[in-house]
Amino acid sequence: MAVGVTYPLGFRAAGVTAGIKASGRPDVALVVADGDAVAAGVFTRSRTAGAPVLLCRQRLAASGGRARAVVVSSGNANVATGPQGRRDAARMAALTAESSGVGAGVLVCSTGVIGVPLPMARVEAGIRSAAAALAVDGGDDAAIAICTTDSHPKLACRAIEVGGREVRIGGMAKGAGMIRPDLGTMIAVLTTDAAIESAPLQALLSSAAARSFNRITVDGCQSTSDSVIVLAGGGSGAVVDGDAVGAFAAALDGVCLDLALAIVADGEGARRIGRYEVVGAYDEADAERAARHVAEDQLVRCALHGADPNWGRIVAALGVCGAVVDGDRIAIDLGGVPLVRDGMAVPGAAAAAGVAARADEVHVRIDLGLGAAAATIWGSDLSTDYVIANAEYTT
Amino acid sequence: MAVGVTYPLGFRAAGVTAGIKASGRPDVALVVADGDAVAAGVFTRSRTAGAPVLLCRQRLAASGGRARAVVVSSGNANVATGPQGRRDAARMAALTAESSGVGAGVLVCSTGVIGVPLPMARVEAGIRSAAAALAVDGGDDAAIAICTTDSHPKLACRAIEVGGREVRIGGMAKGAGMIRPDLGTMIAVLTTDAAIESAPLQALLSSAAARSFNRITVDGCQSTSDSVIVLAGGGSGAVVDGDAVGAFAAALDGVCLDLALAIVADGEGARRIGRYEVVGAYDEADAERAARHVAEDQLVRCALHGADPNWGRIVAALGVCGAVVDGDRIAIDLGGVPLVRDGMAVPGAAAAAGVAARADEVHVRIDLGLGAAAATIWGSDLSTDYVIANAEYTT
């Protein structure tokens, strides 16, 4: 039994090789609910969002939050492809609806190279193959087929009890990678067998995404295709409302965070994760702003890579992050070692901090000393492998 | 005759080794006007700005824009050093005033490692040596002494004619580099023998900085110590006002731009410069936002390094830059080669663009197709050398 999108009852999935990728690896995935399903999605805020993102937004709005299936192609993002690209995305949805028998209600995601029209003959053949291969244990195949340069597929699941019934949530995601090389994209598809209305599902997904996918960074480059979609099929027979919403929300948060952290850990060239926890901020927006700015700062990321407890770079990044900051109040701990108090070095801390900086996940705790708000951002390090992957292997 | 800060009449300068840097290279510079001088400055907007920046801002405000000298120490930024750091900066100013005989009106800049108290015994001895070494041809020595990991000193000059007299502007700058390693800083000191009032001098410097130093980026990391200071001594006997202001402003812009471009070209690990020109923007703020976002995008910078005309990354960066963007209207030219029209690939352009991308300076022209506003940002590439310098050589 797959732990991904076919973990909840009432879903089938498949992943096949359509030949979009030159590598010959799987590149078309399909996730289909057995019956009507409630759907919600969160998408990139990019103003050059790809045709699939535009299609998903439009269809979720028009249907009032309902969908039956998600088709994902990898190897080509169908971005910056003009009117033809928008027709191709619509064709992918229509063909999926027809060949899988769902009739309508298909959402589309594509990830990969930007600016090249989709090879539609291959995509169409792939969709037909995937529809024929749909299976109740197809979640693993689907998770493999959405990857680009991810080093491994990413799956997660949770189960909770609602009114004596088991409710399951499963999901798959792909990380920021390079293909050919080009801008990678973050895509996640979640499923649940909970029976839940569209409005709360969208609210819970938005909330979960804000605390997971929106709190990670690999290279600070938001993609044109980032999409997180959830389908709720109701197969468990358990209705999620009232008191049950809290447990469902926590499980959904857990699946999203598992997938998000798997993306960071598998970031291009990543050696270790930084967990940047900002406390004592004036408000939560400031806390997130500060944590994100530090996590994305190139010099901080180089220091994380080199296991260098170089806190001066953190102070410098805080100074320009846009949050309210008082240099004389900053306190910084690295891996539990107090490095900075009152904006100045803690004498003799360097050796212990140097050891702590070599962990696989380095916890950087920053106390701004101004208020009670907090936020955490997870980020990867910046390595020579990242630069080589994105510069030396030119198109 | 030095082409830097001693190029204008009425200035002396010196650069000496005080032992702040472990390398034994020069690390204290002094620039002194022979008589009263008008002064203006622009400084980092960081909320963790260093003690020297706080001192300069306070003294320029208190004096109504007058100063006699600038002392620069390199190897230690005197940032995140608390009250002791502020006392040390004041001591540097007082000792410079005393030992150089100017009596008062000294501005202070420091650049280098963050979070370590200044070795004041060495700094004080260095200031005394520099004061003793002041010379009318000392501009070269001063330019050398302000460097940290710059590969060469940076000087620039311009001369214009005002009312039959020659008016000179000279300057020196240091770039973003690493020391020990730590966050580098951009510092520039300009001099002129023009006679000019304080208010227009500040206005012209702010304008020149906005079009030069504020339009470059090496790694997107704003420092705690960025400072640009100009002293106008009046030694030419030419008063700059009325019709003469335009020519003076153009010359000042030229000196600032020369120094700014020298900083980009000498950025840590830089192989080539990208000149990102955005036209057709809705307004100038949008044009600058778009150009800066593209120039600082890590994937674009990797592509610049690898001479990869990977325009999909540029479209992706434009999509999230915060400016008004219509993906279907974007046009991109690289080194004069049309790559994108109406947001889609120009067929067959890749080969010529690949050749153009190998130039030392690559001109990327982006037409947003929305309005008449334009802006240009110059940025360096992201190389493995940058990562190695900032990660592998740990403290």
Q: What is the mean pLDDT of residues B63-71?
A: 94
Q: B150 with B74: CB under 8 angstroms?
A: no
Query: pLDDT by residue (tens digit) across B182-227?
Result: 334 577 888 998 889 888 898 888 888 877 777 777 666 666 777 8
**B chain contacts of residue A302, beta-carbon cutoff 8 Å:** 386-387, 390-391
Instruction: Tell me how close the Cα of A141 comes to any Cα of chain B, in angstroms.
Output: 29
**A chain contacts of residue B307, beta-carbon cutoff 8 Å:** 394
pLDDT score for B148 = 82
Q: What is the DSSP letter of B103?
A: -
Closest CA to A208 of A147, A266, A151, A253: A253
Instruction: State the residue for tokens 């690949």.
Output: B354
Q: Give the number of beta-carbon pairs within 8 Å between A and B.
A: 228
Partner-chain contact B395 A46, CB within 8 Å: no
Partner-chain contact A302 B390, CB within 8 Å: yes
Largest Cα span, chain B: 69
Closest CA to A357 of A311, A290, A294, A297: A311
B contact residues 29-48, partner A, Cβ 8 Å cutoff: 44-48
Structure tokens at A117: 């029209």
pLDDT score for B114 = 82
Measured between CA atoms, the residue of chain A closest to residue B350 is A395
Its sign, for the CA torsion A245, A248, A252, A258, is positive
Partner-chain contact B394 A48, CB within 8 Å: no
Closest CA to B180 of B148, B226, B152: B148
Q: Is the peptide bond before A181 cis (omega within 30 degrees of 0)?
A: yes
Q: B290 with B213: CB under 8 angstroms?
A: no
Its sign, for the CA torsion B145, B151, B152, B155, is negative
Confidence of residue B1 (pLDDT cuts 50, 70, 90): low
Measured between CA atoms, the residue of chain B closest to residue A294 is B221
State the Cα–Cα distance between residues A168 and A230, nearest whole angstrom.
Answer: 12
Cβ neighbours around B245 below 10 Å, total: 15
CB-CB: which of B299, B308, B315 is closest to A394?
B308
Confidence of residue B339 (pLDDT cuts 50, 70, 90): very high
CB-CB: which of B305, B307, B315 is closest to A387?
B305
**A chain contacts of residue B313, beta-carbon cutoff 8 Å:** 114, 182-183, 221
Partner-chain contact B343 A393, CB within 8 Å: no
B181 touches chain A (CB under 8 A): yes
Q: What is the mean pLDDT of residues B133-147?
A: 94
Catalytic residues of B: 185
CB-CB: which of B299, B344, B392 is closest to A183?
B299
Structure tokens at B356: 């153009």
B contact residues 186-245, partner A, Cβ 8 Å cutoff: 219-224
State the Cα–Cα distance between residues B33 and B232, nearest whole angstrom.
Answer: 8
Q: A294 with A301: CB under 8 angstroms?
A: no
B305 touches chain A (CB under 8 A): yes
Instruction: Tell me how close the Cα of B97 comes to any Cα of chain A, in angstroms.
Output: 29
Closest CA to A278 of A245, A239, A237, A322: A322
Query: pLDDT by residue (tens digit) across B219-257?
Result: 666 667 778 888 998 889 899 888 888 899 999 988 888
Global pTM reads: 0.80
Q: What is this model's ipTM?
A: 0.77
pLDDT score for B204 = 87
**B chain contacts of residue A316, beta-carbon cutoff 8 Å:** 46, 48, 79, 114, 183, 221-224
CA atoms within 13 A on the CB side of A275: 16
Closest CA to B311 of A114, A224, A180, A386: A114
Measured between CA atoms, the residue of chain B closest to residue A394 is B308
Q: Own/partner pairs for A24-27, CB < 8 Å, 24+ apart?
A: A25/A144, A25/A147, A26/A141, A26/A144, A26/A145, A27/A73, A27/A74, A27/A75, A27/A126, A27/A145
A345 touches chain B (CB under 8 A): yes
Per-residue pLDDT of chain A (395 residues; tens, 9 = 90+): 578 999 999 999 999 999 999 899 999 999 999 999 999 988 887 788 889 999 999 999 999 999 999 999 999 989 888 899 999 999 999 999 999 999 889 999 998 888 889 999 999 999 999 999 999 999 999 999 998 878 888 899 989 999 899 999 999 988 754 323 233 457 788 889 888 998 889 888 888 887 777 777 766 666 677 787 888 988 898 998 888 888 999 999 888 888 878 887 887 788 888 999 999 999 999 999 999 889 988 889 999 999 988 888 899 889 888 899 998 999 999 999 999 999 988 999 989 999 999 999 999 999 999 999 999 988 888 888 888 877 765 44
Q: Which of A219, A310, A332 to mutate to test the interface with B (most CBs of B within 10 A)?
A: A310
B contact residues 54-83, partner A, Cβ 8 Å cutoff: 77, 79-82
Catalytic residues of A: 185
State the Cα–Cα distance between residues B301 and A331, nearest whole angstrom.
Answer: 33
**B chain contacts of residue A345, beta-carbon cutoff 8 Å:** 80, 115-116
B338 touches chain A (CB under 8 A): no
Instruction: Tell me how close the Cα of B370 comes to any Cα of chain A, in angstroms.
Output: 14
Partner-chain contact B393 A316, CB within 8 Å: no
Partner-chain contact B182 A312, CB within 8 Å: yes
Report residue A17 CA to chain centroid gap.
Answer: 23
CB-CB: which of A115, A298, A320 is closest to B345?
A115
For the cut 80, the answer to whether the pLDDT of residue B348 exceeds it is: yes
**A chain contacts of residue B289, beta-carbon cutoff 8 Å:** none
Measured between CA atoms, the residue of chain B closest to residue A297 is B221
A116 touches chain B (CB under 8 A): yes
Instruction: Tell me how close the Cα of B369 comes to any Cα of chain A, in angstroms.
Output: 14
